[in-house]
Structure 1
Amino acid sequence: MTDVVRRGEVFRYESFDVDAGSGLLTCRYSVDGRPFSERVTLAPGERWETPAAQAAARLVFLVAGVSYYKTAAPPVIELGETALTELERAFLREFYLQGLGEFAYRNAIDLSDLRIDAEVRAGQPPSGRASGEARALVPFGGGIDSIVSVEHVRQRADVALFVVSRPGDRFEAIERPAAVSGLPVVRAGREIDQQLMRSAELGFLNGHVPVTGILSAIAVLAAVLGERDAVVMSNEWSASVPTLEHDGRPVNHQYSKSASFEAAFRAVLAADPAGLPDYFSMLRDRTELWIAEVFAGLERYHGSFRSCNRAFHLDKSLRLGHWCGQCDKCCFIDLILAPFMSAEALRAVFAADGGGSEPLAKPELAPKFRALLGAGTKPFECVGEVSECRAAVLLAARRADRAGFPLLKELAAEVAGRPDAPADAEIAAMRRPVGENFVPTVFAFGES
């Protein structure tokens, strides 16, 4: 690939420091001399001074840099006074290359020449993790995945939800289902450098960053400060499937939710001598189809969850208080739940709080559904894999209460007519665990 944009020369990690009295972590970076800083606030206290908290803060510093690197995507990253083990260097390079895969694709940049310059930090024997009563922290976004995780984990551990937002800002789409759970909420404030909000004006490159990786590191720090021994994610099997292939390389919008990232991040945590918390996804070997079927039984959440892109707009004036019923995420959630929730129940979900009709009732959304089903370009969104969507449309079309949905009937006929349409045995397999996971025995689901 030939670069068609002007890249910077050097991205530099400057420094980070913590203020235990205010619970503030400040991370500083620069691109060709232009300074950037990011601030993360958590509960203040003495635990900020522990080796584990210092190690976790350093990890936040390492992964949060990606947001500022992408302003100019230079070929050289300098770590300055921050030395890296060989494991950390390999992890960080992959995090940049794979995590910025979509960014590079959209900006026509080849990042394969990326060089990370850092002093070598000798690895030390890990101290191991303390055993005892399981105390988990579950990052919570208010969608069906994190709800299913929470309802399982709470049966096996002392659990708190974890939410990151800009200081003073709260998303109703997270707060409402969090309130339904009745669980305590641990909060972190994340303030990105305001220069990023002026990217076009300042001539910065723009695009998707692996934000789940950043939030994962902040969650590890929060777990350390709260004396919790596990960060439990809700990333499913399909998050590992690339959005597309380009020039023989996978481009995955969900890289930092993938099994590859999970394994690499776990390795870095386990190797740290400070003894950092465990980290794993509760849903790694579960399909979206399996998750939707479980969620359908959690009726107390049906009136509060909202997995709509417009619910999380940074500009509050553009943020909706109801499902938009139009975006790719709305279409996917409607499709994946349609086999397991009644048409009446889903109609109520999308109509709540002044919303409109559900996406499957809108023929004009056919192109979005076809893209989910593999007949168009898969959207760069956190949506399920094509085979899961095809299974969902076939199952939903068999429901008697969906007879009056011509779009669903049309889509199901198109899928059924394909030579690679999922057979009933394949659909049944998707409703069981698939692949491997990193879930410790104490948290495991009961089935074989």
Structure 2
Amino acid sequence: MEAKTLREKYPEFVFKDFSFRIKDKKTEIEFFYLIKPNLSFRTNISISVLPKKQIKEKVLKNLLLNLGLVEMLNYWKLTCSPKIKIEAGFLEKEQLKFWKKLILKGMGQYFFENQIDFKEKNFLKIETQGKRDKIALGKINRKEKKCLIAIGGGKDTPVVIEILKKKCKKLAGFVLNPNEIHQKILEKAKIKERILVKRSLDEKIFELQKIGFLKGHTPFSAFLAFLSLLLAYLFDYQKIAFGWERSSSFGNLKYKGMVINHQWSKSKEFEKMLKNYSKKYLLENVSIVSPIRNLSEIEIAKIFSQLKDYHFDFVSCNSAFKIKNRTQRWCNKCPKCLFTFLCLFPFLPTEKIVKIFGKNLLEDKKLKPILERLTGEKGFKPFECVGTPKETKLAIELSLKKIKEEGGKLPVLLQKYANRRFS
């Protein structure tokens, strides 16, 4: 079905309510949504540990309301309804502006892929119908220097961890929907304090998408950010750390006059918005940091190349997380696999990087079209968490330099660049 048809048929999306309870020594959260007239949805979130402090109900409800607002995008995207009604709580006018901007920027890839004109008149109206109340700002106990790190599976996470080990007395990691990759990274990092969060989306999403309802990218890192703020309050972490690198601020293409950025919810723009919003409306004294914000992908790869303990445990490939046979940790077909291989190639022995990935990706001529998109020679930068064309070109130059110094044979994918100067 086309977006226009769905918007006309389902003109109103409602964030109905949320709940919070302690059950079986776990913290359970539920969010309830409705696409009028009759499509109801529920998200379940389970946190592996219990809060050890007395929780202020109003602060908790405020944090849950905002987390639910990010979560709703997984359901709103089915119909792109022109009206969003928030019945679960009240938002100030400035907060509504924040959320509208987050939706328009964070859902940019979704708009492009579904050819939705988000610039049309009356495209989106957000109403709040909850009871008006004074903003309940939370406060973190700052007696102990505690830092909560968002744990992913890629090379960024170990780099962030090792940087923060020198700055924070106590580190903890939180993982959303953990698997053995996350567990191995936590073990290698010797992080004992862990918060494991399981989120289950309503299965109706996938059933509806099979019959023509809309699919598309949502700002996942924004969800992690608001989840981390909730966890920071529940467990008194004064600092929250993410692996948001410099290249995440670089977009993919322009659509309807706006830069579309797959990684917008990791960008410097979003980080600044989040910090200001949190300080004013959520937690007055929590610190949100990204230790690798000013580092290029090449610099991150160079640092990671020195962290030998993690080399056979990290995975940057999204597809690999869906592969049932976990002996195959890299799909070796996607932009993330190729970009990660290329960035690490100059800094690791060739035999080792081939062992990590299971093959030499630079010898796979089928990956040529992907490399040409990564360098900016053809098309636009892939909708993946990959670096800029400039960083890809630098990785190629450094790889060529390594091969020349070692007197090795040029791999298939690099042969056309042998006599080319990018700078």
**Same fold, TM-score > 0.5, yes or no:** yes
Q: Are 1:145 and 2:147 matched, yes or no?
A: no
Which of 39, 44, 52 is the aligned partner of 2:50? Answer: 44
Q: Which shifted more, 126-135 or 66-75? A: 126-135
CA RMSD of the aligned region, Å?
Answer: 2.3
CA separation of 1:122 and 1:202: change in aligned 2, threshold 3 A: same
Which of 183, 186, 189 is the aligned partner of 1:175? Answer: 183
CA separation of 1:46 and 1:27: change in aligned 2, threshold 3 A: farther
Which residue of structure 1 lines up, in the alignment, with residue 302 of structure 2? 293
Which residue of structure 2 lines up, in the alignment, with residue 131 of structure 1? 142
Aligned equivalents of 2:65 and 2:54: distance in 1? 12
Q: Secondary structure at the match of 1:339?
A: helix
Which residue of structure 2 lines up, in the alignment, with residue 83 of structure 1? 90
Q: Are 1:232 and 2:234 matched, yes or no?
A: no
Give the drift of 1:127. Answer: 6.8
Aligned equivalents of 1:358 and 1:391: distance in 2? 19
Give the drift of 1:125. Answer: 9.1
Aligned equivalents of 1:76 and 1:242: distance in 2? 28
CA separation of 1:30 and 1:318: change in aligned 2, threshold 3 A: farther
Which residue of structure 2 lines up, in the alignment, with residue 74 of structure 1? 81
Which of 389, 414, 418 is the aligned partner of 1:413? Answer: 418
TM-score, structure 1 normalization: 0.84
Give the drift of 1:303. Answer: 1.5
CA separation of 1:161 and 1:81: change in aligned 2, threshold 3 A: closer
Aligned equivalents of 1:349 and 1:10: distance in 2? 49
Paired residue type of 1:181: A
Which residue of structure 2 lines up, in the alignment, with residue 394 of structure 1? 397
Which residue of structure 2 lines up, in the alignment, with residue 436 of structure 1? none
Given that residues 11 and 32 in structure 1 are in contact (C-alpha distance below 8 angstroms), is that contact kept between their aligned partners in structure 2? yes
Given that residues 303 and 349 in structure 1 are in contact (C-alpha distance below 8 angstroms), is that contact kept between their aligned partners in structure 2? yes
Aligned equivalents of 1:110 and 1:263: distance in 2? 27
Paired residue type of 2:384: E
Given that residues 25 and 39 in structure 1 are in contact (C-alpha distance below 8 angstroms), is that contact kept between their aligned partners in structure 2? yes
Aligned equivalents of 1:318 and 1:35: distance in 2? 34
1:238-266, Cα deviation, whole Å (9 max, x unpaired): 10111111232111111111111111111
Kindly report which structure 2 residues correspond to 1:20-419, keeping only aligned pairs within 5 A, or say none.
20-21=22-23, 22-33=26-37, 34-42=39-47, 43-45=49-51, 47=53, 49-50=55-56, 51-112=58-119, 113-119=123-129, 130-157=141-168, 158-165=170-177, 170-184=178-192, 185-272=194-281, 275=284, 277-313=286-322, 317=324, 321-351=328-358, 357-377=359-379, 378-399=381-402, 400-401=405-406, 403-413=408-418, 416=421
Aligned equivalents of 1:35 and 1:402: distance in 2? 63
Give the drift of 1:374. Answer: 0.6
Aligned equivalents of 2:232 and 2:324: distance in 1? 33
1:238-296, Cα deviation, whole Å (9 max, x unpaired): 10111111232111111111111111111111012654632222211111111111111
Given that residues 78 and 209 in structure 2 are in contact (C-alpha distance below 8 angstroms), is that contact kept between their aligned partners in structure 1? no
Which residue of structure 2 lines up, in the alignment, with residue 11 of structure 1? 13
Q: Which shifted more, 114-123 or 293-302? A: 114-123
Given that residues 20 and 46 in structure 1 are in contact (C-alpha distance below 8 angstroms), is that contact kept between their aligned partners in structure 2? no
Given that residues 12 and 29 in structure 1 are in contact (C-alpha distance below 8 angstroms), is that contact kept between their aligned partners in structure 2? yes
CA separation of 1:122 and 1:244: change in aligned 2, threshold 3 A: farther
1:34-53, Cα deviation, whole Å (9 max, x unpaired): 11111111123464732443
Given that residues 311 and 320 in structure 1 are in contact (C-alpha distance below 8 angstroms), is that contact kept between their aligned partners in structure 2? no
Given that residues 156 and 300 in structure 2 are in contact (C-alpha distance below 8 angstroms), is that contact kept between their aligned partners in structure 1? yes
TM-score, structure 2 normalization: 0.89
CA separation of 1:253 and 1:415: change in aligned 2, threshold 3 A: farther
Q: Secondary structure at the match of 2:102?
A: helix
1:412-448, Cα deviation, whole Å (9 max, x unpaired): 33752xxxx23xxxxxxxxxxxxxxxxxxxxxxxxxx
Structure 2 unaligned runs (5+)?
A: none
Q: Secondary structure at the match of 1:304?
A: coil
1:185-206, Cα deviation, whole Å (9 max, x unpaired): 2111111111122233343210
Aligned equivalents of 1:226 and 1:102: distance in 2? 34
Aligned equivalents of 1:186 and 1:23: distance in 2? 11
1:163-215, Cα deviation, whole Å (9 max, x unpaired): 001xxxx4333222222112122111111111122233343210111111112
Q: Which shifted more, 118-127 or 358-367? A: 118-127
Give the drift of 1:223. Answer: 2.0
Given that residues 20 and 45 in structure 1 are in contact (C-alpha distance below 8 angstroms), is that contact kept between their aligned partners in structure 2? no
Equivalenced residue count is 406
Aligned equivalents of 1:343 and 1:367: distance in 2? 23
Aligned equivalents of 1:47 and 1:415: distance in 2? 61
Q: Which shifted more, 37-46 or 141-150? A: 37-46
Give the drift of 1:93. Answer: 0.6
Q: Secondary structure at the match of 1:23?
A: strand
Q: Secondary structure at the match of 2:346?
A: coil
Given that residues 47 and 53 in structure 1 are in contact (C-alpha distance below 8 angstroms), is that contact kept between their aligned partners in structure 2? no
Q: Which runs of 4+ in 1 moved over 6 A?
A: none
Give the drift of 1:320. Answer: 5.9
Paired residue type of 1:131: R
Given that residues 228 and 240 in structure 2 are in contact (C-alpha distance below 8 angstroms), is that contact kept between their aligned partners in structure 1? yes
